A = this chain, B = another copy of it.
Amino acid sequence: MGHNQAIISVRDYMQQTGRQARAASRLLARAATRAKNQALEVTAQTIREQAAALTAANRLDLDEARSAGLDPALIDRLELTPVRIEAMAEGLMQIAALADPIGEISGLNYRPTGIQVGRMRVPLGVVGIIYESRPNVTADAAGLCIKSGNAAILRGGSEALRSNQAIAACIRAGLAAAGLPTDAVQVVETVDREAVSALLGMPEYVDVIIPRGGKGLIERVSREARMPVIKHLDGICHVYIDDKADLEKAVRVVYNAKTQRCGTCNAMECLLVAEGIAETVLPRLGRMYQEAGVELRGCERTRRILPGIKAATDQDYATEYLALILSVKVVPGLEAAMDHIARYGSQHTDAIVTEDFTRARRFLTEVDSSSVMVNASTRFSDGFEYGLGAEVGISTDKFHARGPVGLEGLTSQKFIVLGDGHIRT
């Protein structure tokens, strides 16, 4: 937008962005796999070459965020470290290496009538992504959209605008090198909040909206959007340590789930412990968490075992801390743990630690969350870790996409029918 800001309205600008995206999506839908991969590879290469420029742009955003006194968790997400820059490039290379989902024909079988019926995978069209803080979303989302044949309109947080613009320049270079329309990925270049309303109000140009951010944003988007929304609400993740758990595995998993990176949605926010093992495992965990600076908030029974800690309220159990705080509850067993998860969880990621086959099987089957785990840290709930090659978000919905949304979540399938003059009788 830049210099045109004075002469065209935000709404006109967004309409123009939408029209350009729709036109680009038609070309991208039938782009050759080779061209899409080349765009991703050149983008990755450009990101590596431009690492210093990305860091410099990011530093401006970071300085401003710190001066504005933004939340530390948010500043953590905003930062583009060399490791994270390399991860962006590596993520794009991984996406390039994945099989092209588009055009894939599956289940093509003969029916008794003689026709062959199967499905062909197709792009959704134009994907709108609204996000906050993390600039790496720009590269991940663009990469997944390009590979899945979708055009993207990316609306990042105002606090990350310079970082996002720097990344967008790398993406445009990649698209241009591959002979693909540079409008296939557009970063919205105005921080005006009206841009979001405009985006949500153009179903003729945008086929799906993916909001990534706080509850306020998600709720606003769900309310206003006139197209389908893939939404990610809270990540109130639980680990239940069963009394048949292996103690070493339990300690390792729940320590990692809380402390490895507490500002992410897949970090554990509530630890459930079977009463039969609580007195054995909690003192040891209490010491470990204390050393790591984790504030514990416990139920009455937890506080009898760990007398120094604060009491957990109902509000605690319903809170996504995104910080070094953990609520702890002693429960009678599996049933009570699953009841607690059903009541307070956000259907994001929940895990059990147990050696008991039947309890593991029940937990996997009966817990209604987008990721359900046995003897593994909730921190694995992530598109990269799942082999999706990056994610545009984690869906806590059940409709269309659930859990980390990678390439497949950005596609649909149409039916194809092959015959030889077949008619219905």
Contacts and interface: CB of A to CB of B under 8 A. Distances in A.
Interface of A: 29-30, 103, 109, 111, 113, 115, 117, 120, 122, 124-125, 207-208, 228, 246, 248-250, 252-253, 255-257, 260, 351, 353, 364-366, 368-377, 379-381, 385-387, 397-400, 402-404, 412-425
Contacts of A30: 365-366
A414 B369 contact: yes
Given A207-B399, A371-B417, 10 more contacts: A30-B366, A111-B387, A208-B399, A249-B420, A256-B424, A260-B425, A369-B414, A370-B415, A372-B416, A374-B417
Given A398-B125, A403-B415, A246 B371 contact: no
A404 B415 contact: yes
B422 A377 contact: yes
Contacts of A386: 111, 117, 415
Contact of A375 (B207, B374, B421): B421
A423 B256 contact: yes
B113 A380 contact: yes
Given A419-B373, A419-B374, A422-B375, A399 B260 contact: no
Contacts of A397: 228
Contacts of A412: 398-399, 402
A357 to B, nearest CB: 12
B414 A370 contact: yes
A368 B414 CA distance: 8
Nearest to A366: B30
B419 A375 contact: yes
